[in-house]
Amino acid sequence: SNKVVIVYYDAGNSDYGTAIVGTVSGTNISFGSATVFSSSSAFDISAAFDSNSNKVVIGYRAGSSYPAYATAIVVSGNSISFGTPVVFLSQHSIGISASFDSNSNKVVFFCNDQSNDNGIGIVGTVSGTNISFGSSTNFTTNNPTLMHSIFDSTNNKLVIIYRDNDNSGHGYSVVGTVSGTNVSFGTPVRYTSVARAS
């Protein structure tokens, strides 16, 4: 739709998960109306554009025990509508990061499963405004936070960086490969021996 979508929690509205469409013209940007996608506190919000389904897919944690949700956004002009949120991790989650794998046409979410402090990856398939998920896979057992992920289209791999809290907060990276509805990982590699702060 040639738009940008900003997703955030609105501290002025009970921390509700909110999205807004922006239109860029030259060096100017204008916005439509903000739309709530989570009528409860929503944190660790991350979005990825699924170019296969032409949907923006959001991952976030919300509710009293902070399970991880995903939902698909439909953009029409300056307006937004949402699919039904789907839980992809029922336990308390933190540090959600979303990326789109254009080789497999899948959205992949990464986060910390706080029931055991493992870092997990899980593959989502978007159909219309619905999202279905495969099984989660651990990429580390070392209590990761500050996760960021990106798709390397040259090698058709996902690259995840994170803070390893069981190793003095050092920065680590790991490579993920999507096959069907599953993701597998290589061995994490440390890229900095100082604590990552962001």
pLDDT of residue 175: 98
Q: Which two tokens stand for residue 97?
A: 């990061």
Instruction: Give CA–CA dist 168/96, Å, rounded.
Output: 21
Question: Is residue 58 within 8 Å of 47, Cβ to Cβ?
Answer: yes
With 0-12 / 13-18 / 19 or more C-beta atoms within 10 angstroms meaning exposed / middle / buried, residue 128 is exposed
pLDDT of residue 64: 80
Instruction: Give CA–CA dist 195/186, Å, rounded.
Output: 22
Residue 94 CB: number of other CB atoms within 10 A?
Answer: 19
DSSP-assigned letter for residue 153: T
Question: Comparing C-alpha atoms, which of 96, 112, 102 is closest to residue 164?
Answer: 112
Looking up tokens 């069907």, which residue turns up? 180
DSSP-assigned letter for residue 197: -
Give, for all 198 residues of the chain, the pLDDT tens digit. 999 999 999 999 999 999 999 999 999 999 999 999 999 999 999 999 999 999 999 999 998 889 999 999 999 999 999 999 999 999 999 999 999 999 999 999 999 999 999 999 999 999 999 999 999 999 999 999 999 999 999 999 999 999 999 999 999 999 999 999 999 999 999 999 999 888
Question: Is residue 72 within 8 Å of 131, Cβ to Cβ?
Answer: yes
